[in-house]
């Protein structure tokens, strides 16, 4: 009885969106599962799933994101990244920067 692992494939827009996040001062770490990325700005963190415009969340991703106690996002476009950047920067400001 072995464990089965799904092969994780990145969406085609992931590299561009990661680079955009980095260009806006975010620290980005690819984690792959249960979501694609761990993203931070001055102590504020978010888990992030990158999807193509037609991509759908898996049931396990929906459950994980719904249960996650911190910031989370699904990003598909540059506009989504800009909303994530704003949310992280606002959260970091409210926290007073790195704790």
Give pLDDT, residue 52. 93
Rounded to the nearest angstrom, the gap between the alpha carbon of residue 27 and the centroid of all alpha carbons in its chain is: 11
Give pLDDT, residue 7. 44
**Statement: residue 11 has pLDDT above 50:** yes
Give pLDDT, residue 5. 38
Domain boundaries of the chain, sorted by first residue: 14-95
* Element housing 56 (H / E): none
* Architecture in CATH of 14-95: 3-Layer(aba) Sandwich (3.40)
Q: Given the DSSP bridges, would you call strands 71-75 and 27-30 parallel, antiparallel or unpaired?
A: unpaired
pTM equals 0.84
Q: Which of 77, 79, 89 is nearest to 50 (CA)?
A: 77
pLDDT digits (tens, 9 = 90+) for 49-89: 999 999 999 999 999 999 999 999 999 999 999 999 999 99
């Amino acid at each position: 009885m072995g464990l089965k692992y799904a092969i994780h494939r990145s969406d085609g827009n992931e590299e561009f969106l990661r680079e955009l996040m980095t260009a806006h001062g975010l620290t980005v770490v690819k984690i792959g599962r249960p979501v694609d990325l761990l993203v931070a700005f001055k102590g504020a963190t978010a888990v992030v799933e990158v999807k193509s415009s037609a991509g759908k969340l898996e049931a396990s991703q929906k459950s994980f994101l719904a249960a996650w106690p911190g910031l989370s996002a699904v990003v598909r476009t540059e506009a989504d990244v800009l909303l994530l950047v704003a949310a992280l920067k606002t959260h970091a400001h409210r926290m007073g920067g790195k704790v």
